[in-house]
Chains A and B, each alone.
Chain A
Amino acid sequence: MSDQSLTLPSAVSEPQAGEVEINLSAGEIGQLSLWYLIWRRFLRNRLAVAATFVLLLLYLMVALAEFITPYDHLISNEDFVARAPQLPQFRDETGQFHLRPFVYGTTTELDTYNLDWVHKDDTSQMYPLKLFVKGDPYKLLGLFPSDRHLYGVDEPGTVFLLGTDRLGRDLFSRIVFGGRISLTVGLIGVSLTILFGSVMGTISGYFGGPVDTVIQRFIELLMSFPSIALWAALAAAMPADITIVTRFFLISIILSLIGWTSLARQVRAKVLAFREMEFSSAATAAGASHFRIIMVHMLPNALSHIIVIATLAIPGMILAETALSFLGLGILPPAVSWGTLLQDAQTVGVVIKKPWLMLPGAFVIVSVLSFNFLGDGIRDAVDPFAL
C-alpha cells in the first residue's frame, strides 16, 4: 500500500442517515418527566422528608383542631389560672407502674407572700388518660357534628398537657387553634406573593425596555421601606370593626405586599435567561405568540424555582405575622395566633415563673425550621436540572 496517502480500511457499509439505529442508553429514564426525577432526588434528602412529615402533622393538627384538643380554647377557668403543664405519669407515689398513663389532680394554695395562686399536683388523685372521650360539642371541619375529643380525663380531673394561660385556658388547645391562623397566613400570603411576583417578574423580564425599568424601580422603592414600620402602619390603618376573617385576609395581603418583590426579581432573572435560550428562539421561529412562549416555555421552567422561593418565603410570613401580633398590631383577641399567645410571655416574670407560656414560640421555631429544610430540599432536588 502506498505510504503517501492515508490507507484506512473501509469495512463498514455506510448506513444511511435515515436508517441509523439509535440505541438509547438512558432506557426508561427517558419516559420520566423532570418532575418525577426531582421527586426522586427529593426523597433522598432525609432532613427534607422529615420536615415534610412534621409540616403535614402540624397542618393535620390544625385542620382537626377541634378533635385533637381536649378543651374549647376560648373557655376560661379561674380555678386553674396559669397552671403548670400536667405531664402524663406512668409511676405513682408508691412506685407502682401503670400501663395507662395518668395525670394528677390539682391543689391550689394562695402564696401569701407573692399574693399569687400556686397550683401543685395532688398526688392523691389520679386520673387515667383516655382516648376519644366525650367533651364540648363541635363540628369537625365545619361539617360533621361530634363531641368526641382525641384524649381527655374524667371529670373533675383536668389535663393541661402544656399548662394553662393567665385566664386558665388550656395552652395546648390555644396553640393548636393559634396554628390555624399562623400557619395559614403564610400559605395565603405566599399564594398572593407567587401571583404578584411571577406576573410582574415575567412581564418585566420578557418585555424588557421601559416596562422593565418602571417595574424594577418600583420594586426598589418598595424594598427600601422599613418593612416592620410599613406593616405596622398598614395594620394600624385597618378599621377596628372588621371581622376576624377580614382582618386575617388583610394581614395576609399586607405581608405579601412586600414579599412579592424579591420573588419578582428572581423570576425576572430566570425569564431573562430563558429568553436567551435557544428553545424560545426556536418557538419564535415556529411562529409562537408571546403568550405561548411565556406559558409553555418560560413559566414551566421557572416553576420549580418559584416553588423553592415560595417555600422559603413562608417562614418569613409566619414570623412576620407572629411579630405583628406580638406587637398587638396583627391578629386581635379573642382570635388566637402564635403571636398573640406570645404576648403573654412579654415580661421577665413570666419567663422565670411561668416558662410554659413561651411554648408557642417552640411551635413557631419548629414550623419555620421545617419550612426552611423543605425549601432547601426542594432546591437541592431541582438544581441539577437548573438551566
Chain B
Amino acid sequence: MATTPTSPSDAAVDYVESGSGQGPLLEVRNLKMHFPIRKGFLKRVVGHVKAVDDVSFSVERGTVFGLVGESGCGKSTTGRCVIRLLKATAGEIVYTMPDDEPVHIEALDPESLRMMRRHIQIVFQDPYASLNPRLTLKQIVGEPLVINNVSQGQDLQDQVAELLRRVGLSPEHMNRYPHAFSGGQRQRISLARALALNPRFIVADEPVSALDVSVQAQILNLIKDLREEFGLTYLFIAHNMSVIKHICDSVAVMYVGQIVEMTTTRQLFRKPLHPYTEALLEAIPVPDPRRDRHRIVLEGDVPNPADPPSGCYFHPRCAYAQDVCREETPPLAEHAPGHLARCHFAAELELKGMTI
C-alpha cells in the first residue's frame, strides 16, 4: 500500500493517488457463485443453485453503481463475493489500488486480504442484526481500528467521536449500547463503522430497505454527502427502483443470477431495452393518485434459481416472448453505446420508459 491511513478525519488526503486516477476502481469479470444442493445421509451433491451466474461489471471511481433486482436474483450474493465474505466459485474481482496496481481480490491469501479490507467496506440491510448488542458504540465503531492496530486509548476515543460526528450522531452517546437507538440511527452507526478504516469503496447492501420512509431520506442524503466528502465509490444494492434512481450513476438489473441490462441510470429509466426492466419500472407504485392506475402487470413468479427455465430465463413471464426465447439463451450484448441488454429482441422492441 502506498500509505497507511491513520485518522479518518483527514480522510481525503490520506491516500496518495499516485496512479493515473483513470479507469474503473473495481472490475468484476465472469463472477460465478454456485451453491451445491446436497441430499441424503452422505450429503451427495445433486445439483447447484446458480445464485450468481457469469456476472461482469465495472465500477468507475467516485460513482455509485447500482445492482437492482427482486429477492433471490443474486444481487446481495454478488456484493458479498466482491468483499470476499463469500468465496466465489469462479471469476475475477479486480480492485485498482491507489497506485494503479490491480489486485485480484478472489486470489488473495488471508494476510493480504486483511490488508485489503481497509479499502473495501460493507453496510448491511438489517440495522438490528448488524450491530452486536453486547458492545457499546465506541466498541462497535472502534472495532476496525482496534483490529487493524490503527489506534488505541485516547486516540481511539477521538477517532470514534469524529466518526460519529461525521454520520450525524452525538459523540456523547459513545458509551451507549445499540438497543437505545432507532433503525435510522443504527444505520448511521453502521456507516461510521464502515468509514473507520477510511475505505475507498463501500458495498451498501440494501442500506435503507428496512427503514421508515421519513428516515430513508436522511440515510440516502448521508450516503450522498459521504461520497463527496470522502471521495467514496459505492456498489449500491437495492430492490427499490426509486432509490436506485435517486442515488446511482449506472445500474445493472439482475434476474435469476444474471445481469439482464446494464447502462447509466438515466438511459435505463428513459429507454429500457429489456422487457424485465420495463416490467420493474411499470410495477413501482407511484405516489401520484392522478396517474392511471391500470397498468400491465407481469404474470407469474421469479423462477427457482436451482431449476431455471430454458433459453432466456425471463421468457415464461415475458409478454414479447417468441419461440427463439424458449430455446436460445440470449447474450448480454451492447445495443447502444454503453447500453447492454440480454434480450434477443432488444434492438426491435419499443419498450416503455419513464419521461425524465
Hey, which bits of chain A sit against chain B, CB under 8 A? 6, 16-20, 22, 24-26, 29-34, 37, 277-279, 281-289, 292, 296-297, 300-301, 385, 387
Contact = CB atoms under 8 A, between A and B. Distances in A.
Nearest to A273: B129
20 contacts: A17-B168, A17-B218, A19-B168, A20-B218, A22-B169, A22-B188, A24-B180, A26-B180, A31-B175, A34-B177, A34-B179, A37-B179, A277-B130, A278-B124, A281-B85, A283-B147, A285-B85, A285-B120, A287-B114, A287-B118
B132 interface: yes
A199 B347 CA distance: 61
Contact of B181 (A30, A277, A278): A30
B51 to A, nearest CB: 16
A282 B177 contact: no
A286 B181 contact: no
Contacts of B148: 286-287
A33 B138 CA distance: 13
Given A17-B168, A33-B134, A288-B143, 12 more contacts: A17-B222, A30-B177, A30-B181, A278-B129, A279-B129, A281-B122, A282-B122, A285-B122, A286-B117, A286-B143, A387-B129, A387-B133
Contacts of B143: 283, 286, 288, 296
Contacts of A282: 122, 124, 130, 190, 193
A6 B173 contact: no
Contacts of B181: 24, 26, 30
Contacts of B152: none
Nearest to B123: A282
Contacts of A19: 168
Q: Which 3 A-B pairs have CB atoms at the shortest separation, nearest pair first?
A: A30-B180, A30-B176, A286-B144
Contacts of A30: 173, 176-177, 179-181
Contacts of B131: 279
Contacts of B329: none
Given A278-B124, A278-B126, A279-B129, A285 B180 contact: no
B165 interface: yes
B346 interface: no
A20 B221 CA distance: 11
B193 A286 contact: yes
Interface of B: 80, 83, 85, 113-114, 117-118, 120-122, 124-126, 129-135, 143-144, 147-148, 165-170, 173, 175-177, 179-182, 185, 188, 190, 193, 196-197, 218, 221-222, 225, 288
Contacts of B85: 281, 284-285
Contacts, number: 114
A287 B122 contact: no
Contact of A286 (B125, B133, B197): B197
A283 B169 CA distance: 21
A31 B174 CA distance: 9
Contacts of A17: 167-168, 218, 221-222, 225
Given A17-B218, A34-B133, A301-B132, A285 B225 contact: no
Most-contacted residue by chain B among A25, A37, A277, A300 (CB, 10 A): A277
Most-contacted residue by chain B among A18, A29, A279 (CB, 10 A): A279
Nearest to A280: B132
A323 B133 CA distance: 42
Contacts of B218: 17, 20
A258 to B, nearest CB: 25
Nearest to B168: A20
B129 A16 contact: no
A18 B193 contact: no
Contacts of A297: 132
Most-contacted residue by chain A among B120, B135, B175, B222 (CB, 10 A): B135
Most-contacted residue by chain B among A19, A285, A296, A297 (CB, 10 A): A285
B235 to A, nearest CB: 13
A297 B197 CA distance: 20
Nearest to B165: A18
A278 B288 CA distance: 36
A203 B143 CA distance: 23
B1 to A, nearest CB: 13
Contacts of A37: 179
B133 A6 contact: no
Nearest to A284: B85
Nearest to B182: A25
B133 A301 contact: yes
Nearest to B176: A30
Contacts of B147: 283, 286-289, 292
Contact of A385 (B133, B170, B188): B133
Contacts of B185: 22
Nearest to A304: B134
